[in-house]
Structure 1
Amino acid sequence: MCEYMIKNEKIKAAEVELTGIHGENLGVVPTTEALELARKLKVDLVCTSLFSSPPPCRLISSGTVKEERQQARKKEQPAKLKEIRLTPNIEEHDYDTKRTQADKLLRAGNSVALVVRVQGKEGAKAKVLLEELIQDLKEVGIKKTGIQLSGKQAMVQLDPR
């Protein structure tokens, strides 16, 4: 649906291709007749595209229009990548906190980068920690990248399911 919707009396076309409240096709009808039907049903007549003739219009309750706009805006926003930092020698309580944080972010539709800072020979420990986190978050997140060990950190990215 377009950002600037034309509705009701602002529709200047002589006739419109009308779709009912429940998505049923009502065919091509004169605009005046469509407006009368909209008033009778206490809904809005909304033009969904200006690039065809006759223009397609729908009968929509005003609450539905706002809802559809909000849904469209949510879909437009790309998923954000959030980083969660950990250490290889993490305690159980801290691990649970980080897991819960990652779970919330994934459920909200964001991607999560789990980063473990590594010093010396902690690479193997970091990999085990990340594999455990991936396993715990498998119902809400899906692995986008493999576990990447590079210099001072180990990282994996999870996308929401």
Structure 2
Amino acid sequence: MSKQELQINEEIRDKEIRVIGADGAQLGIMSARDALNLAAEKNLDLVKIAPQATPPVCKIIDYGKYRFEQAKREKEAKKNQRVVEIKEIRLSLNIDTHDFETKRNHAIRFLNDGNKVKVSIRFRGREMGHPELGADIMKRFAESLADTANVDKPAKLEGRNMLMFLAPKPVK
């Protein structure tokens, strides 16, 4: 709502509008001039809150206070939302056990931070002839993370890359 500027007081040019009082009570449909006079009597503003309705809905409120509360609500909503990043871990066909464990620990750290993990294996040269070896490594990797992650998208060969997506398990 704060993205587009709201019309207030004299900016409202509609012939008739539905008016809501300061206490939230319906005051009915009246002309914009009558509603403006009503708002002026109470030292408040007439604000068009639903311009797409027929007739448009206006409310008699303190505009400064309304803007403050809107900003506060948006700030609260922004604070509660969380951006999920996708972190990538690259494995290879002939990965050694210690390297595998290191990559696994990185994946656990990413998943504990609430991020998704994209696991990829790039097949080079003659490795393309053995995609089942890549699938085995992916399966082993997913099984080693079974307690912290769910397989979002199973391992799939796309061109020279095999990709798999892991998502963190929901916190109980």
Structure 2 residue corresponding to 1:132, chosen from 147, 159, 166: 147
Match of 2:155 among 123, 143, 149: 149
Structure 1's 92 and 123: CA in aligned 2 closer, same or farther, altered over 3 A? closer
Deviation string, structure 1 residues 98-156 (Cα, Å, up to 9, x no partner) = 13432xxxxxxxxx542123474422222224543336xxxxxxxxx843102433214
Query: 1 CA distance for matches of 2:42 and 2:112?
Result: 47
Corresponding residue number in structure 1 for 2:128: none
2:47 corresponds to: 46
The count of residues paired between Structure 1 and Structure 2 equals: 135
The CA deviation at 1:22 is 4.8
Tell me, what secondary structure is at the counterpart of 1:132? coil
Per the alignment, residue 116 of structure 1 pairs with 119
Letter of the 2:139 partner, please give it.
A
Unaligned runs of 5+ in 2: 92-99, 123-133
- TM-score scaled by structure 2? 0.54
Aligned equivalents of 1:157 and 1:91: distance in 2? 16
Instruction: Say if 1:130 and 1:156, in contact at 8 Å, map to a contact too.
Output: no
For residue 92 of structure 1, report the CA deviation from its aligned partner. Answer: 7.8
Query: Partner letter of residue 99 of structure 1?
Result: L
Distance in 1, matches of 2:66 and 2:109, equals 39
TM-score normalised by structure 1 residue count: 0.57
How far residue 3 of structure 1 moved from its aligned partner, in angstroms, is: 2.0
Q: For 1:43-82, what aligned pairs fall within 5 Å after superposition? A: 43-47=44-48, 48-49=50-51, 52-53=54-55, 55-61=56-62, 62-65=64-67, 68=70, 71=74, 82=85
CA distance, structure 1, for counterparts of residue 112 and residue 43 of structure 2: 46
CA deviations over 1:31-75 (Å, ceiling 9, x no partner): 33422443454543112215634x32122433434654784xx89
Q: Which residue of 1 aligns with 2:97?
A: none
Alignment-mate amino acid for residue 8 of structure 1? N
Q: Identity over the aligned pairs, expressed in percent?
A: 19
Measured on the aligned residues, the alpha-carbon RMSD in Å equals 4.0
Whole-Å Cα distance in 2 between the matches of residues 131 and 22 of structure 1?
55
Q: Which residue of 1 aligns with 2:127?
A: none
Q: Which amino acid in structure 1 is aligned with residue 163 of structure 2?
A: Q
